Structure 1
Amino acid sequence: MRRAGLPSHQAATEEVDQARALLALAGRDRRRRGEIADLLQAAVRAGQPLPDVDRIRQRLRGDGPLDDMPTVGEYLTRWLAELTVDANTVRGYESIVQVHLVPHLGDIPLDKLRTGHIKAMFAAIERRNADILAAKASPDPAVRRTVAGVRPTGPSTRQRIRACLRKALNDALAEELIVGSNPAALVKTPGDRPVPIVWEAERVKRWKETGKVPGPVMVWTDEQVVEFLDYAKEHAPDLYPMWHYMAYRGPRRGEACGLLDAEVRLDQRETTINNQIATHGYQPVQKKPKSKAGNRDLALDTETTKVLTAYRARRAQWRLAAGDTWPHTGLFFVRPDGHGWHPNAVTQRFRRLVRQAGLPPIRLHDLRHSAATIALSAGVDIKVVSEQLGHSTTTLTRDTYQSVTKELLHQAADAVADKIHGRRSKSA
């Protein structure tokens, strides 16, 4: 190995020592020793610095190539192309990779990505959020126009960014492209999961006066749920049974739209969730629930059983009137023409009806939150509620509904104090 143009004898000696240290990393492995020698020759011929000893040592721990480590951007592009998950998940990952990960981390060699880089990305996202909010609040119309239609990156999106990167790096670890720990797993995502807030009387009053909603996730009280269902029964009888089912038992929108007729056993007062209708763009697609916990049985109360029984009889009348034109979708909830409901259409009808009823606004998904909140407030065990919702762990249920579980803890504390106080009164 020959190189000219070094500034001093000391620099030449250090480079020789570095080359020897690199060759020593291979030990008696002749194949790896040859690969390291090739790297040294290539660096010298190109007039580039010799490879870093620690970097080559790290790569030797796996069995991948020692040269041509891809950048984060190059790896993520290949990773997306080789994913074997459903199209909707891939579409979400692609958006995150293109909008956030590649612009902030794309040029970093994959094996040099550290937690500091990821923290810097989230800090940059926070600064961008502040700039967007400041521009939206600017008195200058020209400044406001620069962020027209632009939204800050919220807590849920930040969590999805971290989850996407963590998944990609876990796959890189499995391929032995990188070794050690996953830097994304060591970074805490800024912003917490939004906690459901109940539309209590004071909040409703303030909303009517100011038009401001207290938080991104709002849930109705049991009285408000009843008011909505009574209004829906009269003004949207074709969708009322589905909304009743969602409000009482808490399935997701796609699970309600995709409920199979064969999985509704009204004589046994139960349904099975093993199908859903998701939207890929706007295209509805039937598929299985994403997780094992998502496949579950939902027991029905007497009232819901009556509503679904009446709906099934009404649906039979629709089918009789349609005759041979009635489509065989296999779905339980269908439109009067027999075709399945598009999830987006169900959401749009829900929003419109909430406005017409004069109720405080919630999302359709928040009917699910209302069902969980009412169940917890009624004293239903959190494990039962977690299984009803299809959560993988009770921790997720507890974290999501912590405002409700705190209330239950206070009630438990008062119950213990009342019992002790009663004993003390008798002993006195």
Structure 2
Amino acid sequence: MTNSEGSTYKRCGCRDQSGKRLGSQCPRLKRRNHTWNPNHGHWGYQLELPPTARGKRRQARRVGLDSQVEALDEIDHIKNLLNLASDDEDTRRSIADLVHTTIKSKQPLPSVEELTRKLKTGADIRAEVPTVATWLHEWISSKTDLARSTGNSYQSHIRNHLIPHLGHIRLDRLTVAHINAMWEAIDERNEDIREARESDDPTVRAAVRGMRITALPTKHRIRATLRSALTDAVSRPDLPLQVNVASHCHLPSEQRRRPLVWTEDRVTHYTATGDVPSTVMVWTPEQTAAFLDRARRHRLYALFHLIAHKGLRRGEAVGLPWANTRLTDHAIDIDTQIVQLGWETITSTPKSAAGQRTVTLDSHTATVLRTWRTTQARERLKSGHTWTENGLVFTQPDGSPLHPAWVTTLFRDLAREARLPPIRLHDLRHGAASLSLAAGVDIRIVSAELGHATTTFTQDTYQHLFPSVAKEAAEATAAIIPLHHQDTESA
């Protein structure tokens, strides 16, 4: 059947006795009433396309379609694509090139909307829609203004999770179901790692040594990376993406772990079982004092004193330059930090504006830092020409910077020698915040000196730790009411 500038036909793969294909002459293609037999053969079409740049004739041909209607629809679709060129012969020829190449490679034709978008933006109409992997590589390469730590995090998510699970999917065909399947696969791998760790077979345990569980907070960060990449893809007019599916996939809410204090009962339980009640633990004031008493015998006592009293982050403390200290004014300015990337370290600025701040020192802490400055000056004289000058407050005996991981190891060793229950070095910062609030320091001051963006975060995270503060507030409130009769507890 001929349809304007195109025709359809029906053929099959049957052969005669000599082995020759019957093609459109097979008697089984039609029924006895001369209508087409829907159970035998396939439809095809052919359509004359604009000639090549050299004037060579060519046709769009496709076979293997299920119905004549499908063949006619594709002919009309090709015509609609060609009509997008209007009277521009060069564009019409380029569209014909695209149609001819697409059909020859047995790929689906682009939609009118997709091709219109490419024509309007000046994009190469022959460029295929990228896969998720191709787009992620292009996207991360364009993010030249990222902090190195953020870039490394994105790269890790892309390399270890997004490309292995989603990379093969064409970008415009990515669905929420694909992303949910990735979460399920990650959960299964987590379970495999856990089971292997508990195996009686040492070779099985060895096989997963060093492998990490991908916990819920990491999943949220993986989704954030994908969502950011897809947001940029949606904004690209040359890409046929209209919905950011990463914004519609579900993950359980990320519950932030609030710190717990190492109370006497918790210490007793830990001593008996080895179980740590929470991933975030804080020492009592007495335990903090015991740690500092032990740390006082180490040359870097001032470092741990500063973190324990003022709540600096590890990177902020090891990256603090003397130029940012104003000991006469009892203040230090935080605007740099040393960040660990793998084992490599870099110096960078805090991530947020709130992180760049001034911290006020108490008189004792200022004195501790002055004493340390004198000690460091003696070390500089002793080292002579081998001294590494970098202007940092805390250094190795030869002036070289402290590696953040080395500081963490030293902290653990000192805490163990003090026979204290375990906390992370970062938990020393939590303790400083909690103790400041317990001492009655205004929460706005505590929040600002910690570098928090809001006081709400500070209050939700720390103010529950020392219930004596809440009890004192309750007693003070009750005392305001002038009761004439005071109840007493019965015996």
Q: TM-score, normalised by structure 1?
A: 0.84
Q: 2:103 aligns with which of 17, 26, 44?
A: 44
| Alignment match, 1:71 | 131
Aligned residues: 421
Matches within 5 A, 1:128-277: 128-141=189-202, 143-176=204-237, 177=239, 179-190=241-252, 191-234=254-297, 236=298, 238-277=299-338
List gaps (5 residues or longer) in structure 1: none
**Higher mean C-alpha displacement, 280-289 vs 70-79:** 280-289
**Cα distance between partner residues in 2 of 1:374 and 1:34:** 75
The answer on 1:363 being equivalent to 2:363 is: no
| Alignment match, 1:404 | 464
**Cα distance between partner residues in 2 of 1:402 and 1:37:** 67
**Cα distance between partner residues in 2 of 1:218 and 1:19:** 67
Task: Using the TM superposition, give the Cα deviation of residue 416 of structure 1 relative to its aligned residue in structure 2, in angstroms.
Answer: 9.4
Residues 207-246 of structure 1: CA deviation (Å, up to 9, x unaligned):
1111121222222222211111111113x1x111011111
Preserved CA contact (<8 Å) 1:231 1:357: yes
Task: Using the TM superposition, give the Cα deviation of residue 382 of structure 1 relative to its aligned residue in structure 2, in angstroms.
Answer: 4.1
Q: 1:3 aligns with which of 57, 61, 78?
A: 61
Name the one with the larger helix percent.
1
Preserved CA contact (<8 Å) 1:376 1:405: no
| Alignment match, 1:127 | 188
| Alignment match, 2:153 | 92
**Cα distance between partner residues in 1 of 2:129 and 2:440:** 56
Residues 169-211 of structure 1: CA deviation (Å, up to 9, x unaligned):
3343454446545333444544434332322222211111111
**Cα distance between partner residues in 1 of 2:327 and 2:113:** 66
| Alignment match, 1:16 | 75
**Cα distance between partner residues in 2 of 1:379 and 1:57:** 65
Task: Using the TM superposition, give the Cα deviation of residue 46 of structure 1 relative to its aligned residue in structure 2, in angstroms.
Answer: 3.1
Preserved CA contact (<8 Å) 1:74 1:106: yes
**Cα distance between partner residues in 2 of 1:128 and 1:92:** 20
Matches within 5 A, 1:347-426: 347-394=408-455, 396-397=457-458, 401=461, 404=464, 414=474, 418=478, 422=481
Preserved CA contact (<8 Å) 2:294 2:417: no
**Cα distance between partner residues in 2 of 1:419 and 1:158:** 49
Distance 1:87 1:253, change over 3 A: same
Preserved CA contact (<8 Å) 2:434 2:462: no
**Higher mean C-alpha displacement, 48-57 vs 127-136:** 48-57
Preserved CA contact (<8 Å) 1:113 1:183: yes
Preserved CA contact (<8 Å) 1:155 1:193: no
**Cα distance between partner residues in 2 of 1:242 and 1:116:** 50
**Cα distance between partner residues in 2 of 1:205 and 1:139:** 30
Distance 1:152 1:32, change over 3 A: farther
List gaps (5 residues or longer) in structure 2: 1-46, 48-59, 486-491
**Cα distance between partner residues in 2 of 1:170 and 1:364:** 37
**Cα distance between partner residues in 2 of 1:62 and 1:170:** 18
Amino acid at match of 1:371: A
Q: TM-score, normalised by structure 2?
A: 0.74
Relative contact order (C-alpha < 8 Å, sep 6+): which is higher? Answer: 1
Residues 393-427 of structure 1: CA deviation (Å, up to 9, x unaligned):
4455456x17738969976994797378x26769x
| Alignment match, 1:287 | 348
Preserved CA contact (<8 Å) 1:200 1:221: yes
**Cα distance between partner residues in 1 of 2:117 and 2:76:** 19
Distance 1:258 1:47, change over 3 A: closer
**Cα distance between partner residues in 2 of 1:253 and 1:60:** 53
**Cα distance between partner residues in 1 of 2:216 and 2:472:** 32
Task: Using the TM superposition, give the Cα deviation of residue 308 of structure 1 relative to its aligned residue in structure 2, in angstroms.
Answer: 1.3
Distance 1:33 1:121, change over 3 A: farther
Residues 21-49 of structure 1: CA deviation (Å, up to 9, x unaligned):
6567x597969877655443333333433
**Cα distance between partner residues in 2 of 1:7 and 1:185:** 37
**Higher mean C-alpha displacement, 364-373 vs 159-168:** 159-168
Q: CA RMSD in A?
A: 3.5
State the SS of the aligned residue for 2:296. Answer: helix
Identity of aligned residues (%): 42
Distance 1:189 1:59, change over 3 A: farther
Task: Using the TM superposition, give the Cα deviation of residue 377 of structure 1 relative to its aligned residue in structure 2, in angstroms.
Answer: 3.8
Which has the greater radius of gyration?
2
**Cα distance between partner residues in 2 of 1:65 and 1:394:** 51
Residues 98-124 of structure 1: CA deviation (Å, up to 9, x unaligned):
111111110112233333322322222
Preserved CA contact (<8 Å) 2:438 2:466: no
Task: Using the TM superposition, give the Cα deviation of residue 17 of structure 1 relative to its aligned residue in structure 2, in angstroms.
Answer: 4.3
Amino acid at match of 1:334: T
**Cα distance between partner residues in 2 of 1:124 and 1:95:** 17
Amino acid at match of 2:75: V
Task: Using the TM superposition, give the Cα deviation of residue 359 of structure 1 relative to its aligned residue in structure 2, in angstroms.
Answer: 0.6
Preserved CA contact (<8 Å) 2:434 2:463: no
Amino acid at match of 1:3: R
Task: Using the TM superposition, give the Cα deviation of residue 351 of structure 1 relative to its aligned residue in structure 2, in angstroms.
Answer: 1.0
